[in-house]
């Protein structure tokens, strides 16, 4: 009985670390693609981060980078605004700062 309880506790300790490792891999994959200027892969990976990651800092980073790619590369300020609106509640300062950059660059202030 004691052996099975120890096994169960060890298993429960490993499961969260596996989830965290998967989240870390997603954000690392996104950042790596971005730094290699593979923007299509970066966008897909950042969307994966938004969809699956539970770390607030990762989600905010993903959203602000997706917004930046939308308006800087494609000139799509509407898509950028939608992405920033999604994270307004968890990263208001970052969302507002990226929105201000976008509005200034597009002379829409």
Q: Is the dihedral angle over the CA atoms 106, 104, 68, 88 positive or is it negative?
A: negative
Compare 108 and 61 and report the one with higher pLDDT. Answer: 61
Q: Within 13 Å, how many C-alpha atoms sit on residue 34's CB side?
A: 20
* CB proximity list for 32: less than 8 A, separation 6 or greater: none
pLDDT over 90 at 14, yes or no: no
The proportion of the chain whose per-residue pLDDT surpasses 90, expressed as a percent, equals 72
pLDDT (tens digit, 9 = 90+) per residue, 43-87?
A: 999 999 999 999 999 999 999 999 999 999 999 999 999 999 989
Mean pLDDT of all residues in 2-21:
55
Compare 1 and 101 and report the one with higher pLDDT. Answer: 101
Pick the closest to residue 30 from 79, 57, 66 (CA basis): 66
Mean pLDDT of all residues in 83-108:
92
Is 33 within 8 Å of 7 (Cβ atoms)? Answer: no
pTM, two decimal places: 0.75
Pick the closest to residue 31 from 39, 97, 52, 104 (CA basis): 39
3-class SS string, 23-54:
HHHHHHHHHHHHHCCCHHHHHHHHHHHHHHCC
């Amino acid at each position: 009985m004691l052996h099975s309880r120890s096994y169960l506790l060890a298993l429960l300790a490993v499961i969260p670390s596996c989830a965290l490792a998967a989240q870390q891999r997603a954000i690392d994959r996104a950042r790596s693609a971005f730094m290699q200027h593979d923007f299509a892969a970066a966008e897909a990976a950042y969307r994966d981060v938004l969809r699956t990651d539970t770390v607030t800092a990762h989600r905010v980073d993903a959203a602000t980078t997706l917004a930046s790619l939308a308006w800087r590369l494609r000139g799509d300020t509407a898509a950028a605004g939608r992405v920033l609106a999604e994270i307004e509640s968890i990263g208001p300062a970052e969302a507002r700062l990226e929105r201000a950059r976008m509005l200034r660059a597009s002379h829409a202030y």
